[in-house]
Amino acid sequence: MGKDKLSLPFKNGVLGNSALEVAKKSKIDHIAAITKEKEKQHWLKEQQIIDRKISILACKDADKGQANSIKCGVKFAKALKAKAVVILLADQPLINENLVNQLIDTYHDLMNTGKEVHYVASSFKGVVQPPILFKDTCFPELLQLEGDKGARSLIRMKDDDRGVIIECDDWRCFYDVDTEEDYRWIMGI
């Protein structure tokens, strides 16, 4: 987009805050907001910066592709001894708490029945898209991602029996803002 899209006005705040607030209200235990190393977090509210549920992590290679941001988050999750991570994108401002919680609830329900589940992914019309929950057994694979290759590539490479894909019927949850046109559209709804 050529500018800091996460700081663009949206609803009662800025674009980058929308997905973060959804994550905060969801059943996610702890949030790692991955930022570019030299980025000023204009898109973060002051109370989010000091919120104990949120850690702000500067990733020195974030501008070299989303794989680097994923790696920063996974390394942090490993240090916390997390059993799973949910990957959300800050530029998907219409994501909702119900979808995030559905991933988490599905994971817990299946694990409680003894079924080994390595991921629970969301999709629209059969296309897997973030948010995606990955069990810690996937951390080594996530740490091998390179460049602008996202985590959903791990799902396309694997057999369906490793995880579960939840079909979402609301395409807006997956709408990401990458261009001026995307931003104008989202401001018009």
pLDDT for the residue 75: 96
Q: Which of 107, 96, 111 is nearest to 171 (CA)?
A: 96
What is d(CA 127, CA 179) in angstroms, rounded to the nearest whole number? 21
Query: Collapsing DSSP states into helix, strand and coil, what is residue 127?
Result: strand
Q: One-letter amino acid identity for 13?
A: G
What is the three-state SS of 45-96? CHHHHCCCCEEEEEECCHHHCHHHHHHHHHHHHHHCCCCEEEECCCCCCCCC
> CB–CB of 20/30 below 8 Å?
no
Tens of pLDDT, residue by residue over 6-45, are 888 888 888 888 999 899 999 999 999 888 865 556 556 5
The DSSP-derived string for 144-171 is: T--TT--THHHHHHS-GGGEEEEE-S-G
17-31, 65-79, 111-125, 144-158: the lowest-pLDDT one: 144-158
Place of tokens 């810690």: 136
| Pairing mode of beta strands 13-14, 31-36 | unpaired
pLDDT for the residue 39: 57
Domains observed in the chain: 5-188 (3.90.550.10)
51-60, 80-89, 137-146, 175-184: the lowest-pLDDT one: 51-60
Q: Which of 84, 56, 61, 81 is nearest to 71 (CA)?
A: 61
